Chains A and B, each alone.
Chain A
Amino acid sequence: MRTVVKIGGLVTAAACLGLAAAIANAAAPAGKGLVETAQAEPMPPGFQVVNTETQGPVFGDPQGKSMYIWRSVPLRQGKVGEDPNKPSCNNEKLTMSDGQYSIYGPALLPEVEKRPTCTQVWPPVLAAADAKPVGKWTIVTRNDGTKQWAYDNYALYTSILDKAPGDVNGGKRATPPRQVNVGEPAREAIAPAPAVPPGFDVTVTATGRLVSTDKGFTVYTYDKDSATKSNCTDACAETWKPVVAPAFAQAQAGWTTIERAPGVKQWVFRGKPLYTYALDRDIRGLDGQDIPGWHATYTQFSPKYPAEFTQRDTLAGQVLADKNGKTIYVYWCYEDALDQIACDHPDAPQAYRIAICGAGDADRCAKTWPMVRAADNAVSTSRVWGIAYVNAKTGKWAKQGEADAARVWTYRGRPIYTYNGEKAGEVLGDEFGEHDQNRNTFRAFYTMSLGRFY
């Protein structure tokens, strides 16, 4: 689902106590088709807010393409990424690995003769000569003298993996980790702040944009409540803590309050009073959803996974599984070079993946970690879940009818896999890969994880 809202020029936000005016597409009734609203923010002419399937509203360039920043991260032998106002992604072709966070010294990168430059993969969002800064949007000068847009002082780029407005395939992962994982440099799409009151947060999860308190406690609603009355009182309210609103809280798009006791206001979102669950174990936990009548709160849901998939309980949480109950895995990879170019999609060198999954043997890799085939009559109903032809052995794009071409499911433009070293309902293949499972690694597709880095 994509909704594009253009607000350019010198429009300014009407911010008051953080309850800024929301962009159009405000409160839709609860249920399917929910769309998140974002706080209005001034943008350069032509720039826009694009609603995406998994990330909610993001900023788009004049063509609607998602824009990314790349904050620098200290690694063991140095750092990667960009410092504020210092774009470093350029047109120089890097040929050697950098060993920034591994013990492996510099070495010649795979398929070096075909390796693209950073800006061939991450084109900079260039600014016209007469462009003027607007709000958080500033202009930086690149090493070659050209001007580039920056947001919050970080230079902006688009991704060649994004094919249409609403795609956010450029970053490594769709969902942020539950804990900050030092040493995980990743490009991230820039987005306007969600239109939520102070004290709330919205986070991308596998199932949608989850609302939590700013301390990370998932926020829930109760079937038996109405827009004007909470029916969770006394003992119920000891387990389900009402999310209290300040006395001066004002209604905004989708957000209202009720007075559950004299002088005590409770937040209400889309007609349902909000609570946290005292027995949630982790940040953004979902344990409360196991209690009949209670539901975690989302500003919008991610597209439903393909009909032939299921969800299964495992020792480490709930995962997405294929029709045989085998856990589905995504694969992440970016090269250990200063430009950190991705190596996890069919256009990239497959040597990394095949080393891990097959010890360098493509046949063994295809047998141990087969791609998830799409049924002949399967149809993609969203952009994030796609179907493509990929060579099952080489991992490269293929055409129908070619040798070893397989019709497979993709997630964010990349094939997904199962692991033949485990039975249905297991996650033995999870975190199968190098460097703390941050790079060149297979990860289970959790819809709810008990692990530390999800």
Chain B
Amino acid sequence: MKNKFLKQMTVSAALSLLATGAAVAAPTEAAVPKGGSLGLALYWAHWSIYQTPEAKVECPNGMNVGSREELLMQFPDKNKVYTYEETALNREAATWNPDIIKYNLPFKEAQGKIAIGMNLDGKVGPNDFTSPEGEKGVDNNLFRVIGCVDGWRGPVGVLDQFGLTRMYRNSTYNRILLEITGIDSMSNDDSVEVTSYRGLDPLITDATGNNYVPGGSQRLDMRFGQKLISHRKGKIVDGVLITEPADFILPEYAVNTQLIHDARFRLKLTADGAEGMIAGYSDIKDWHSAFIKGWSTIRSGQGLGSQPSHARALERLADAYPDPQTGKNTAISSAIDARFVQVFIKHPEGNVAEATPTTQRAEQR
């Protein structure tokens, strides 16, 4: 945990200094990729949580309990025979229909003034954080939701869905790619284009199978992955890609997607890929859906997570994108630590529209 924390700090430090305009020694100029295009495949992602030793700063009142402990709070009488409807079905109803279930068991939000993330709204307000490197106005309310839940914390929190790199290894469902085009310089370039796609191919690993290596090819999923194509402008400053805000959809564990409004990428480009942060306003329905579908009640309990409690906290702490009908916020400021490996992106030949047949697959002769 310490190493991850320090490493996080190192990368975040460089990125944050850039954000504040402080001078940073320019890295050695890397070669401009052929055709001015660089492909990146996401292979590691964690919701950003500022962690201090034993969580003393961010969780002064201790960590949250999970499903199992909450059930004991709700049904303490071990001698009473409850009905299945009262216990299991009642809790599952609350899990899958959080909008109508009244659920008020205690929940501890992460505290403190420091959080990892970006200043998403351009303001410095009383409820904002300061980054560990001193950047003010950091918006990351999701940290308040998950910061004191053991399963979300690094280095191997069991609920940390993105951290399950086997999902990236085993499945192409969440093979997210970025293609950076128009690159004239890998150190400083005031105008590049960044497009996200879903890829079709596995990632290449080294002989151990544990480490991803650059240089693989990725075909683009132009058929089922259309929804995941998004586009934004950016620039490269001292070797760091910084993009303008634009909606981004991240395919997740199981069959979920996470819509992130106004997503920004801040990635240090390396010879083998990129590392840094994605920040924006995550749709809370998507976030909750990923949690309840990726982790059943029993599994979330192992990480001391409680889906109904998370749902209430998300609703309470959502801070953007109010619903036009209800006025309730539908998205929450958040940040993701992310790592990418370099890949060669292979665009389909010919007209894309013609390359997506609709009749062949699974049709019966």
Contact = CB atoms under 8 A, between A and B. Distances in A.
B231 to A, nearest CB: 18
Contact of A355 (B93, B200, B255, B361): B93
A309 interface: no
B202 to A, nearest CB: 8
B216 to A, nearest CB: 14
A208 interface: yes
Interface string A352-377: 10011111110010000000000000
A98 B247 CA distance: 46
B257 A356 contact: no
A310 B337 CA distance: 41
A315 B198 CA distance: 10
Contact of A316 (B87, B95, B255): B255
Interface residues on B, range: 35 or more
Interface stretch (A12-20, A40-48, A287-295): A287-295
A91 B96 CA distance: 35
A117 interface: no
B233 interface: no
Contacts of B326: none
Contact of A104 (B88, B171, B172): B88
A110 B84 contact: yes
11 contacts: A108-B83, A109-B84, A110-B83, A110-B89, A207-B362, A355-B89, A357-B96, A359-B101, A431-B293, A451-B173, A452-B171
Contact of B173 (A30, A290, A359, A452): A452
A286 B81 contact: no
Top 4 nearest A-B pairs (CB, nearest first) are: A359-B97, A355-B89, A104-B88, A447-B362
Interface of B: 67-68, 71, 81-97, 100-101, 170-173, 200-202, 219, 223-225, 227-228, 251, 254-255, 257, 289, 293, 296-299, 301, 357-358, 360-365
B357 A450 contact: no
State the main secondary structure of chain A at its contact with B: loop
A226 interface: no
A103 interface: yes
Contacts of B298: 76, 101-103, 435
A103 B301 contact: yes
B255 A451 contact: yes
A107 B83 contact: yes
B360 A291 contact: yes
A356 B93 contact: yes
Contacts, number: 160
A427 B227 CA distance: 12
Nearest to B173: A450
A206 B255 contact: no
A314 interface: yes
Contact of A318 (B67, B92, B93, B361): B361
A151 interface: no
A158 B289 CA distance: 38
A432 B227 CA distance: 21
Contact of A314 (B224, B360, B362): B224
B365 A32 contact: yes
Interface string A6-48: 0000000000000000000000001110000000000000000
A30 B364 CA distance: 11
B200 A281 contact: yes
A55 B82 CA distance: 41
B24 to A, nearest CB: 39
Contacts of B228: 315
B93 A433 contact: no
> Of B100, B227, B254, which is in contact with the most chain A CB atoms at under 10 Å from its CB?
B254
Contact of A286 (B200, B223, B361): B361
B84 A97 contact: yes
